[in-house]
């Protein structure tokens, strides 16, 4: 589990295909200068651009993770050499929840429509796929490339966010431009509420059908 508060930025500096009959994917080596790896051990989870991955090897200022082909198919950026990524170690129960609860399981890939300065901040507008739209709400939370952000407005299939200078300075979001793709994870509470409402709706319909 994560908070969406980015601890450091890293770079994918090595990609190796996994040669295993039971698994298809890649090994990624990620170099990072500012992420403290002293308390990380093999098997721990680190969110890489919003994707929960398991550490398989540790080196000074870098670590290795295994990524399945399924994860590569459902996310963006993990198969690009030199790609800058947001990093966050899994939260501890004693940590402050500065962002919101983030699972590290990406729901969809969005497309940047607009990224322009507004005073000291930047306005970010993202087009989201239809399946995730029911889980978006004005003033609700969403993780974009692993960064916990607040939705300011929603219009049809697009939502807008204001990025403050601190977020731009400490994440990879300052590299965005129109047309770029980003990993989206919706608020898990919204997903569960929607699921429960759908189940209740199905039960009500089933009961009405039995009564007729």
Which tokens is 204 given? 């009500």
Cβ neighbours for 184, distance < 8 A, ≥ 6 positions apart: 106, 107, 108, 109, 110, 126, 128, 132, 142, 143, 144
Determine, yes or no, domain membership for 97: no
Residue 148 covered by a domain = yes
- Domain annotation covers residue 38: yes
Domain of residue 66: give its range. 8-89
Specify the pLDDT at position 24: 85
- Cβ atoms within 10 Å of 24's Cβ, excluding its own: 13
* Residue 202 C-beta-side C-alpha neighbours within 13 Å: 6
The answer as to whether 50 is a domain residue is yes
Instruction: Please tell me whether residues 51 and 17 are part of one structural domain.
Output: yes
Tell me the pLDDT tens digit for each residue of 30-52.
999 899 999 999 999 999 999 99
Write the Ramachandran bin of 179: left for phi over 0, alpha for psi from -120 to 50, otherwise beta. left
Task: For residues 128 and 169, state if they share a domain.
Answer: yes
pLDDT at residue 99 in the model: 82
Q: What pLDDT does residue 62 have?
A: 96
Residues 84 and 129 in one domain: no
pLDDT tens string 96-142: 778 888 999 999 999 999 999 999 999 999 999 999 999 999 999 99
Closest CA to 27 of 38, 37, 8, 12: 12
| Over residues 154-176, mean pLDDT | 97
Percent of the chain with pLDDT over 70: 93
- 59 and 125 in a single domain? The answer is no
Question: 113 with 169, same domain?
Answer: yes
- Cβ atoms within 10 Å, residue 12: 22
Could you tell me if 82 and 145 lie in one domain?
no
Calculate the CA 147 to chain-centre distance: 7
22 within some domain: yes
Any domain includes 210: no
Rounded-to-integer distance, Cα 9 and Cα 88, Å: 9
Strands 153-155 and 45-48: unpaired
Task: Report yes or no on 169 lying in a domain.
Answer: yes
Same domain for 129 and 77, yes or no, is: no
In the numeric block, the tokens 């990025």 are attached to 163
**Shared domain check, 70 and 17:** yes
Q: Is 160 found in the same domain as 114?
A: yes
Integer angstrom CA distances of residue 150 from 96, 112, 155: 18, 16, 15
Looking at the domain assignment, is residue 98 inside a domain? no
Rounded CA-CA distance 168/6 in Å is 11
Q: What is the CATH number of the domain that holds 149?
A: 2.40.30.20
Same domain for 128 and 159, yes or no, is: yes
- Asked whether 12 and 72 are in contact (CB, 8 A), the reply is no
Q: What's the number of domains the chain is made of?
A: 2
Residues 62 and 124 in one domain: no
């Amino acid at each position: 589990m994560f908070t969406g508060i980015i601890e450091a930025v890293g770079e994918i500096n090595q990609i190796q295909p996994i040669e295993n009959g039971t698994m298809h994917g890649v090994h990624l080596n990620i170099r990072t200068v500012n992420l403290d790896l002293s308390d990380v051990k093999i098997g721990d989870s680190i969110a890489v651009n919003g994707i929960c991955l398991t550490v398989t090897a540790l080196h000074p200022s870098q670590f290795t993770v295994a990524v399945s082909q399924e994860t590569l198919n459902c996310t963006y950026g993990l198969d690009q050499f030199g790609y800058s990524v947001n990093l966050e170690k899994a939260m501890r129960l004693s940590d402050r929840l500065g962002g919101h609860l983030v699972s590290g399981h990406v729901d969809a890939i969005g497309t940047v429509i607009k990224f322009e300065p507004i005073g000291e901040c930047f306005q970010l507008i993202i087009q989201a796929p239809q399946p995730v739209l029911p889980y978006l709400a004005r003033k609700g939370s969403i993780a974009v490339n692993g960064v916990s952000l607040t939705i300011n407005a929603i219009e049809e299939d697009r939502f807008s966010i204001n990025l403050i200078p601190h977020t731009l300075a400490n994440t990879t979001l300052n590299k965005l431009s129109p047309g770029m793709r980003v990993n989206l994870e919706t608020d898990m509470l919204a997903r569960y509420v929607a699921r429960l409402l759908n189940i209740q709706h199905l039960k009500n319909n089933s009961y009405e059908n039995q009564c007729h």
